[in-house]
Amino acid sequence: MLKDIPYSRQWIEEQDIQSVVEILKSDYLTQGPAGEVFERSLATYFGVKRAVVCSSGTAALHLAYAGMGVNEKSLGLVPPITFAATANAFLFLNAEVAFCDVDPVTGLLATENLESVMQEKSFDNSAVNLVAPVSYAGALAPLRESAKIARRFGFSLVEDASHSPGAWSEEEESRESSGACEHTQAATLSFHPVKHICCGEGGAVLTNDDELADRITHLRSHGIARPNDPGGKRPWFYEQTELGWNYRLTDIQSALGIAQLARLDQFIERRRILASRYQKYLSTAPFSDILSLPLANPGHAWHIYVIRFHKTGQRDKAHLFLKERGIHSQIHYVPIYRHPYYERHFDKVRFPGAETFYESCLSIPLFPKMTDSEQDRVVETLADYVEQAR
């Protein structure tokens, strides 16, 4: 019996297990030294001043937006092709969410649309207004261009980099990297098992702004601080100065994150090899008669490999065909505005780029531990599908 192939999964090795076991035998399961070690390693890897780790990618978005001062007067602009959390975190803070369309081919924020949304939408200039571009699938979002537009309208930027550790792009001989915060005030990561590195659950905010990092660290732990204690009279004293949350990452999770981060380059390399194999095998007929491949570039970090079917209805048929043969694929994403919660609470909207992308997209299996022969099976099964669908 052939084993099912998931669309993604973690890669845990003995050294990951040992790192976790060491913490379980140590004095600190949480609030110990592992969190700070993980933060320093992440900051070094992404080339930023500070990393603040937290309990999930969703918590990272919530903390980043809250730390920057998003509140009920703010407007958050989000591409609809992303996980709901990118938008939800604005709603947690009672801010307004508006959508900005995506490019129907790449699924990335369409900067022309960003400009027109900002021109047409009314917003409070005195509030903290944000754009949250998503480096979808592992391709760098148009951060430089978005930042240029955002600056003109007084918006700040947070990159949702959950899909894109290691992604970069080169333009006019200068390289920009995902998570490096060259054009954004902050970037967020997720350490869910389907992501590049995993902690079980986990996330981080990256920034070059020390004040923002300190504020996020404070909000991560209830908004509670230990003030200076001159003379050491009341060493037990702590006080809550703001309303925060418990979004801490445990030392158990941090230890796993440190071990995983040490292998991130290896994971990315394997993702790139698998993506280039897909490009090679799927780029010609008969595949090219019914589907298109993602735009490949050397800096793509390949969180997911998203093919797009030319004809409406083909995507769902292909998904079922693969599923019946033990191959799991996924749709990334149902546009956020289509979720019943959003339809219930907000005006009904449809964006042409997002609709086209959503109707056609299918993420086929891609994860670093996937073997060449598993990938061959995906290609052969897809070939069987294409043969009977033509």
Minimum Å distance from CB 367 to ligand PLP?
14
Give min distance, CB of 79 to ligand PLP, in A: 10
Nearer to ligand PLP (CB atom), residue 155 or residue 247: 247
Cis peptide before 136 (omega within 30 of 0): no
Between 138 and 299, CB nearer to ligand PLP: 138
Q: Which two tokens stand for residue 267?
A: 């994971």
The residue written with tokens 């995993």 in the block is 198
CB of 301 to ligand PLP, least distance (A): 13
In the complex, minimum distance from the CB of residue 141 to ligand PLP, in angstroms, rounded to a whole number: 11
For residue 333, the minimal CB distance to ligand PLP (Å) is: 8
Q: In this complex, which beta carbon is closest to ligand PLP, that of residue 64 or of residue 98? A: 64
Q: Which residue is nearest to ligand PLP (CB)?
A: 57
- In sequence order, the 6+-apart residues with CB closer than 8 A to the CB of 329 are 7, 318, 319, 322, 323, 362, 363, 364, 365
Nearest to ligand PLP of 81, 282 (CB atom): 81
Q: Which residue has the tokens 């600190």?
A: 28
As a whole number of angstroms, the distance between CA 154 and CA 41 comes to 33
Shortest separation between residue 190's beta carbon and ligand PLP, angstroms: 3
Residues that bind ligand PLP (CB under 6 A): 56-58, 82-83, 85-86, 134, 160, 162-163, 190, 192, 203
DSSP of 24-45, one letter per residue?
A: HTSS-SSSSSHHHHHHHHHHHH
User: What distance in Å separates the CA atoms of residue 140 and residue 161, rounded to the nearest whole number?
Assistant: 8
Give whichever of 46 and 385 is closer to ligand PLP, judged by the CB atom: 46
Q: What is the sign, positive or negative, of the torsion defined by CA atoms of 374, 375, 378, 383?
A: negative
Shortest approach of ligand PLP to residue 247 CB, angstroms?
Answer: 11
Provide the minimum distance between the beta carbon of 284 and ligand PLP in the complex, in angstroms, as a whole number. Answer: 31
Within 8 A by CB and 6+ apart from 208, the residues are 48, 49, 50, 181
Whose Cβ is closer to ligand PLP: residue 183's or residue 192's?
Answer: 192
Distances (CA, A) of 145 to 102, 141, 168: 14, 9, 15
Rounded Cα–Cα distance for residues 100 and 354 (Å): 9
CA angle 66, 203, 274 (to 5 degrees): 135
**Main-chain dihedrals φ then ψ at residue 81, nearest 5 degrees:** -90, 80
The residue among 163 and 271 lying less far from ligand PLP, judged by its C-beta, is 163
Cβ contact 56:203 at 8 Å? yes
The CB-of-57 to ligand PLP minimum distance in angstroms stands at 2
- Contact (Cβ atoms closer than 8 angstroms) between residue 164 and residue 188: no
